[in-house]
Structure 1
Amino acid sequence: MKIPSWAAQVLKQMVSDVSHHNLLTLGIASIQGVAVASFEKEDADRLLFFWRQRKECHIFECFLPLPALSSPAREQRSRTSKTELDGSNACNLIWFFFEHIPNSINPMPTNFALFFLGILNVPLATALSFDFPSFDQSSLSKITLQDHASWSSSNNGCFQLTRSERDGNMQSSQGRAVYADPLLLWNNSDYLTDFSTHFAFIINPNGQRQPGDGMAFFLSPFPSNSSSYPNSGGCGLGLFSAMVCQSSTDSISSQPVPIVAVEFDTYPNPALDDPSTPHVGIDVGSARSVEYKTWDADGGDDKWQGDAWVSYDSGTHNLSVVLALRSNGSRTTNYSLSYIVDLREVLISSEVSNGTVYLLHLICSTRQVAVGFSASTGINNETHTLLSWNLSSTLVKHPPVRRRKSKTGLIVGMVTGVGTLLLLLLLGFVFLWSRKKRANIIRDQHQLLDDGLEIQGRPNGFSYEELAAASRNFSEDVKLGEGGFGSVYKGRLERLNVDVAIKRFAKESSKQGKKEYFSELNVISRLGHRNLVKLVGWCQEQQELLLVYEFLPNGSLDSWLYSAQNHLRWPERYKIALDLASAMLYLQHEWEQCVLHRDVKPSNIMLDSAFNAKLGDFGLARLIDHDLSWKTTVNAGTLGYMAPEYLDSGKASKESDVYSFGVVALEIACARRPSTGKLVERAWEFYAKGRVVEAADEKLNGEFDEQQMEQVLVVGLWCAHPDFNLRPSMKQAINVLNGQTALPNLPPC
């Protein structure tokens, strides 16, 4: 579909109407950032907009002509003469255009609607994911370095965020490393982003007994530039005004800055209520940490080597941090902290200025933020080295937030009228197009509905031919695993440019196997959480039943706990326990219905490239009201993970799933199978002797945080208590795991 010529004429006419202004400013939002080019009014008539189709993906392109001028404006325009935009950035382009038209000029809403129709079906911006195990010079194309930050070939390729010893004076240095693409924070109001990131770093005091000042991982409005925050060196960590360190009052810091950061602060600043030792802290709009944990450090010759995991749950607004820190000659110590914060309220500071821009705010409701690292030194100094970085994000649909009613009837009328027009035209187009192109999928959907399944339009329908091609005709070479239901294969969907795991149910599946297929599709298609395996699509064709899931490269948890080749360190294990608890909390308390999984075990817990845990395999899952249980005539699940009362009565409940979680928590800490290793009994024996930490996996060689280990073991025993009346809720369990609630005194079993 090409943009109509009349739509381009509308824009050109709107440009020519600005007759009493010499210059028109047009914002060009690109994936690298926002660049601004100015050009003469008569040049505006030469703007061309058109479509190009690439493998079913529409690309919106904007060309700026280059007149024969010799000026800085021309040089700036030459760098941005051709920009490819996704749907979100196309909205930014229109937004910027209207915001810079003088308020005295009010284009007709009809003309605006016609122009917007020309670009409406540009695909929306997608979630952001990347992985840098180290940094070679090619990574500079995706990571922008600012101020004194530089690339170094040491440590297999790394970034020095501040000046190093070879640069001479290391004092009063600051620098940033910012990912070039934005992170989508939310989209269309009820789609919010969960993200998790892991990075490794070194802070080296270079022999100073009192080093300074520290580094931080941060999120800020996109694009992010250190010039937006002058005088931010020293205690400001390159993010906040350093003037706060010179005042004992809140007069300066009371003005919130649209920044959220996780700081690794090495210099105590009394004006910021800093502790006397280095600490990891969460900063929200200010350099004063809202939560922090101190670490033991003497400075001097020690350098601090850290691994940090930062994750955000957009449903609960929980920002959590896990830090594994090692100093020279000492073992790794782990720290964890969390804080409840709605990132949208902190990071989005701009306000709409007129009715037209407000309309764009409603239609193009997407918000993007920058992610990166910042560091600084003052009179005291140190070096800050970034060794690796990965990040993954997922758009999750949440119940829409109730908004305040608009006070302006005109805006409501414009939104209603234009929205109705757009909806009618789009529905007509979709109807005509889908009749020809997607007849088979529609027929499959009707068949699924006949079988009692509510699809709700969330996952995609795939043809059998496409899935067969993606998996090399289900070759044994790409088989990931096999079970009673059938087999799982790795596949590559070329049109989506994504790797997937294809779960193929055996053709000879029994009635129970078909029931599990429909049950799994019915349940997982409704859910959305960063710690649940994401369903990409399904297929019911040629007597084949297939489910398509996101591919998670690190496989299942049991392959790491019991493999001679793989070794899972304690920080990853602790985070996996937290991730699983978060998924269970969502299933039991945070979704509109209670989801009974009935088969929580390590082989159903998958790990992505950053060892984020995701619960999968919902073939036995059931949806119930929150205050009910599920009665079955045949026990379903795996021995060793099934609660005693479930085995006796066949009645599944929240408490029986909590029992399964408790067994898995003990398995994470002890690396013993419940069926053969007397996992639960052995842990109770150590607990009764007051030495529960001694139940830990011997392969860890004592390299773990004892407090965290005790939390996981005690929560595991609490959840796996044989009396279901004495088990905690998942809310209680996760509070103890996070260290927010004291350990319970467990009654003997």
Structure 2
Amino acid sequence: MVGASNDDGFAYSGFRSTEVPCGGTAGITLDGLLELNHGTQQSKGHAFYQNALKFRDSATGIVHSFSTTFVFAILTQDPYLRGPGFAFFIAPSTNLYEALPSQYLGLFNFTNNGNPSTQVLAVELDTSQSMEFGDIDGNHVGIDFNSLNSINSAPAAYYANENGGIKNLSLSSGEPMQVWVEYNGTDMKLDVTISPGKKPKPNRPLLSSVVNLSSVMLEYMYMGFSSSTGSIPTYQNYILGWSFQMNGNAQDIDFSRLPVIPRRGPKKKSKVLIVVLPTIMLVFILVTVPSVILFVRRKIKFKEILEDWEREYGPQRFSYKDLFMATKGFRDRELLGIGGFGRVYKGVLPSSKVEVAVKRVSHESRQGMREFVAEIISIGRLRHRNLVRLLGYCRGKGELLLVYDFMPNGSLDKLLFDQPISVLTWDQRFRIIKGVASGLYYLHEEWEQLVIHRDVKASNVLLDHEFNGRLGDFGLSRLYDHGTDPQTTRMAGTLGYMAPELSRTGKATTSTDVFSFGAFILEVACGRRPIDPRVSAEELVLVDWVSECWRRGIILETSDPNLGNGYVVEEMELVLKLGLLCSHPVSSTRPSMRQVLQFLDGDVSPPDMSTNSFRASFLEMGHNEGLDAALAMSYPSLDKSGGYLSSIGESILFGGR
């Protein structure tokens, strides 16, 4: 029997016959090892204890004492190449699909790292140094609360019991090591101890912190292990045994029953000096052959593919070599963000020293290829001051790349919602709203073809160095000749920005873009997402909440509290009412983008929304009709009575929208 468990604890000596749910690259080997990653680049792996455990008393709110210990080994093929390690963690959910690999250890992403709402306790065993998280070195143990910026950390080491001296450990040595994580609920003290395998537990912990876990722990929590890889996967992380006990000491792990760690690399060969080779042959092998191999590999690596549809865009084509150098080999540190079908990196073109943003699309993804072609065709020739300019593209072997102007102030949603250092002023927000409106008007009426964007939202609006709004991400856009009827029937977009009629017809039109724009400007003015599960049911849907406040005559109370009184009342009222008008449930009532610009510029007064007929049309079909239909497609197991709240809340727990 390799393992035993009960409601308060368990003990596993290997994992061959255990039920440990795994996700991503994690899995159980034939030898009974819990393998957290198997060498795939930019990947993550998770393994959980199968049940949620009761960590907190529901009556008193006190967090129970607990103790856990595990034996691990980190193997590497090249000790000179650093890679992220792994973490033991406790979290309220097993849903970690929004978490990022590499330095984020598969636990957080750049949006929710540091957000208290994640409610994650972790002990990291990190084998690389991430300066952005304040890591002390590339071989350390740390205690993390809702962030990879550890509250306490130390270089990997242990206190020898015989003389009390501290001895260093190399986490990636490939040798088994044991970790103890113990929390005393009475003293509110968390201890982390580490030692080489088979050695007794040191009398003194490596890390000891007085912490109140009541701010992190819910009544029931899940625990497990998380691991990730970077661009060069060199490490394999294994868990050999694991035990846990609530309100007691975890059971000792029997090393004699643990599975065997895989052998590292080939067997060592005897070193024999070869003295019969002539000097000229040695020089040829050591110099000429590697040079030829390097040359051939570079030619293959930077080989590019050209297809017939691409030939007319030849002048805008970049070489893969230049983009590889510009992004420093697509290094994780240059990563700006992750979109629906690609990662975006910051780069500096080697020849001109111009800063650019490079979107890297998966070549194997059919969806990615469609979006790649759509974005080239749709914005390759678009030129407008409020659209993100596509500078060019590249197709290399296994790579699809799009090159844009670099926007130094990032996406608008980060400055609205991600705890920015400074708050956008009303003047900046009003200018951004007008800029996006101008860009949409250009797409709908001014360019030679009609362009329907289909995904207007704050995260797709980027800000240049003067905080001007530029609409980007044309991966879902469609082009039509002016005067023709759009034939797209595949429903696409983002929940909260999609017009009600999309759930019935699936047909995107300029009017559905206007609806998205209406939700977007309410988002900017109110500082609230279109759907926000963290608020009451009455305020869940932003458009409905603003319309209710409008009917009650208190529409200004929906303005972003971060603005205080720092806005022009007339402009704020105009934007809020225009947001309701654009997001009207009846598509024929919505204005065109030409009219929207006229309203914003003050050239034309908006229609009188106080009339009984307008109010009746607004009340005749509520926004919830379209929302319920969209939710039913995304969450078919949920009802319309509010059951979707917990599901959406769970989906954004780790940074989802």
Question: So what's the TM-score if we normalise by structure 2?
Answer: 0.45
Question: So what's the TM-score if we normalise by structure 1?
Answer: 0.39
Larger proportion of strand: 1
Instruction: Between the two structures, name the one with larger relative contact order (CA 8 Å, sep ≥ 6).
Output: 2
